[in-house]
């Protein structure tokens, strides 16, 4: 993903930094209650650890990429047996030639006519293939989050709209970010679903990206649909996680854009700021994006928010 324009670093007081640090390290009572009936942040953290061990470098065409695909498929054998795990294979034209890519779609049928899509990219950045980049926050933890959400919906089938998980490929640029060199998986899927009519059934397309780090605060992402941002804010209140939301606001180019361009309601749940107060992007797309930057507390917050947003869309 990319934030267009230059990043403006705003100085924050020491008092604010202390307050934010305290907030990030305390799970609220509401979060504990949600965990008892929802998705465990600790379990998502463990899944992230297992995913990174199985496929630390997951750039397209690599053995790690194949291992990542196998990891995802292994966790959805019950859905595959029912025909509800779809491998969406396609070939994409990139600056280095045609590359084979695959989106994985896991379907949990609901009782209402319509679909809520939860998506995350699972690969790592291709230009960073020659450094020790594992993308713990950028792709790994959100892949783990979607797997855990799938386990939840397997045990608690959707009572409203169907929920589809999309593990999309090729979000990252192959050479240098541009409208043609990025978002390969969701551009392909949006075009495919537009052609076969699926897109008319999608009530919301929601992206999970970079929402596992210890100092997480989810960006108010201005390419997102306003009413979905409002529901995310309400979910923050419902779950007691308001302090984790909307300290910063900016437009971000991410996997939701191909669907936004086709008038689908979209929401990018992302914390683009991933670094230090002096350099808010210090860990983004570097070898510093490692497991030790993540927190089960942040992953608990993210899981709680996703579950509540789905519930609120059902009620909308």
Pick the range with the lowest mean pLDDT from 3-7, 45-49, 126-130, 172-176: 3-7
CA distance 259 to 204: 9
Banded pLDDT at 4 (limits 50, 70, 90): low
What percent of the chain stands above pLDDT 70? 89
The owner of tokens 């045609």 is: 98
Domain boundaries, the chain: 40-315
Residue 17 has pLDDT above 70, yes or no: no
CA distance 217 to 195: 37
When the candidates are 3.40.1410.10, 3.40.630.10, 3.10.105.10, 3.40.710.10, the CATH number that belongs to 40-315 is 3.40.630.10
pLDDT 10s digits, 96-148? 999 999 999 999 999 999 999 999 999 999 999 999 999 999 999 999 999 99
Banded pLDDT at 2 (limits 50, 70, 90): confident
3-state secondary structure the chain: CECCCCCCCCCCCHHHHHHHHHHHCCCCHHHHHHHHHCCCHHHHHHHHHHHHHHCCCCCCCCHHHHHHHHHHHHCCHHHHHCCCEEEEEEEEEECCEEEEEEEEEEEECCCEEEEEEEEEECCCCHHHCCCCCCCHHHHHHHHHHHHHHHHHHHHCCCCCEEEEEEEECCCCCCCCCCCCCCCHHHHHHHHHHHHHCHHHHEEEEEEEECCCECCCCEEEECCCCHHHHHHHHHHHHHHCCHHHEEEEEECCECCCHHHHCCCCCEEEEECCCCCCCCCCCCCCCCCCCCHHHECHHHHHHHHHHHHHHHHHHHHC
pLDDT at 12: 43
**pTM score of the predicted model:** 0.90
Residue 169 has pLDDT above 90, yes or no: yes
């Amino acid at each position: 993903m990319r934030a267009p324009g230059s990043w403006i670093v705003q100085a924050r007081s020491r008092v604010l930094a202390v307050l934010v640090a305290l907030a990030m390290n305390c799970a609220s009572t509401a979060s504990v209650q949600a965990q008892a009936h929802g998705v465990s942040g600790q379990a998502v953290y463990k899944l992230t650890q297992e995913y990174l061990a199985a496929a630390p470098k997951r750039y397209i065409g690599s053995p790690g990429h194949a291992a990542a695909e196998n990891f995802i498929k292994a966790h959805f054998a019950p859905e595959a047996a029912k025909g509800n795990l779809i491998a969406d294979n396609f070939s994409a034209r990139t600056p280095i030639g045609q590359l084979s890519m695959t989106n994985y779609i896991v379907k949990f049928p609901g009782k209402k006519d319509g679909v809520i899509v939860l998506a995350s990219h699972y690969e790592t950045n291709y230009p960073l293939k020659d450094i020790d980049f594992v993308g713990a926050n950028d792709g790994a933890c959100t892949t783990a989050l979607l797997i855990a959400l799938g386990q939840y919906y397997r045990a608690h089938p959707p009572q409203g709209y169907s929920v589809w998980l999309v593990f999309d490929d090729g979000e990252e640029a192959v050479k240098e970010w541009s409208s043609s060199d990025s978002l390969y998986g969701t551009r392909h899927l949006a075009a495919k679903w537009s052609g076969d009519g699926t897109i008319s059934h999608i009530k919301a397309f929601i992206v999970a990206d970079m929402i596992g780090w210890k100092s997480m605060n989810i960006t108010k992402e201005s390419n997102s649909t306003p009413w979905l941002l409002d529901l995310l804010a309400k979910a923050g209140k419902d779950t007691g996680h308001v302090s984790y939301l909307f300290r910063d606001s900016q437009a971000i180019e991410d996997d939701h854009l191909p669907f936004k361009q086709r008038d689908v309601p979209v929401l990018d749940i992302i914390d683009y700021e991933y670094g230090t107060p002096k350099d808010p992007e210090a860990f983004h797309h570097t070898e510093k994006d490692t497991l030790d930057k993540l927190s089960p507390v942040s992953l608990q917050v993210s899981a709680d928010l996703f579950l509540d947003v789905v519930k609120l869309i059902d009620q909308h």
